[in-house]
Structure 1
């Protein structure tokens, strides 16, 4: 058991913890002798670490936070319960070489408490609530490719494959990413669109990388020709533009905002129900044009700045010191709800889990915070919302009613 446990902990720390691994660990926790067998293993792991100073309370909390950001479900026991347990199974020293031992040890402690909490709560949840939430699954990779002739290809299950286009150009799926190969003899336009509950990544013919969030689309030429590279987007898209100063890259956003790029990475949030288009620059420089036909209405962004534009209003508002990593967290598989209004956070959840959110007025004054993984089951998301004081009820499978 000792060697198998150590293997599971390594899998956990390397983000290779599969569903089968999780179930196996749960079976270990169910064993009456689990505590007697597991604790010595963890203690031995700690004793193999190199001393590098005291394992301070600040270090403890940092590690616990890192684990919670990765832990798929459950409730963190009270701090008063965790700290004595931690000191009981390790020497109070921080580590350098065996970092996974620290993280996995704390994860397992949290997991033990979380497992028993989960078993306790499952017995209290109404059967219809459990069944409803299990039907709502987190989003996944997938999209619809519309070719220039109007035919469509569903990319949800096409992991590695070849799509022959007109004019000798080939689109290829490699490791879940759509790539274009060859040069076409005529101008063709393709469109990639993601419904709710889907996201997708592609690489344009010039090497520009594109990430699409749920309920988004991008229209682009299969091969770029002429004196510009022009694409049109709707929804939320992150772009890493390939540098080519002689052929500028331009983005038409919802037909109302115009972006001009030489080589940069940036995020555009242009959902219709967000009320404004938010363009956030991560690297490089970017010119935002509020009205493409009125050139003097423009702003040049520097990294960390965000521009707000609205349809029918050519004014451009620029905000400094924006946390670009927070804005683009969706691309890395995370919801970042720090300083995010409740209604905006619920719109994000609605797109990803393909649910409908309805408010019984007034909208609750609830302050969210922290980050959660987009891979979490919907039941765990509801638990998170309940812990921050949100009251709700679930009707059917996909109608979430937020109560005052």
Structure 2
């Protein structure tokens, strides 16, 4: 198996954001199970951690209990972030990496039920409450820049966090804002993506002044500068838009990779 550390970093970031597809989750778990890839996978995790500042959401006591529960294959209750999925025949190495990922990301919200049935080992991961039971999210998101760099927003202080071709990306009290000079430094359109893990939400002010409130477990893809005859963004999940008026440059939202909606008014949900 050819392993690319950039791919490992991408899969870890998707997993941390709760945005992994089923195929990506299977790919990540396969990498974690591959004993021959242990060194390079550990290096990939280490590199990802160096590039991203992660704030632990579990107390030391809860983290220790979760780790011990997984390694001893006893049920432990934490908070859910992913949909129900079943992983067949996990090895000891996978269990150790699963514990490591929980402790690294503080990804809470699972009830781990590790049992042995009919000489076949099955790990069932079940969300504890339903989505209706989930309380309003806290501010937090992962920003993926056009060049692939990823920034964990809820771990940073206020101020300029990145610069792209003349556009400053500014974090200010739980919201992200783009400030652009009079003329962009490049004609190339750069697209950033903001993703919210389950239990998190975030606000971004786009380059045209449009305000977007991104709901939990959602993502928003948008250009760093709006150019041309339209303003196009892509949303997966849920968001509320307060669109800056510009009749000469209609605002278009592409929903879940399919339907395109032109926002005629100023507000769109």
- Taking structure 2 as the reference length, the TM-score comes to 0.48
Q: Find the structure with the greater CA-based Rg.
A: 1
Which has the bigger relative contact order, CA under 8 A and spacing at least 6? 2
More helix by share: 1
- Taking structure 1 as the reference length, the TM-score comes to 0.32
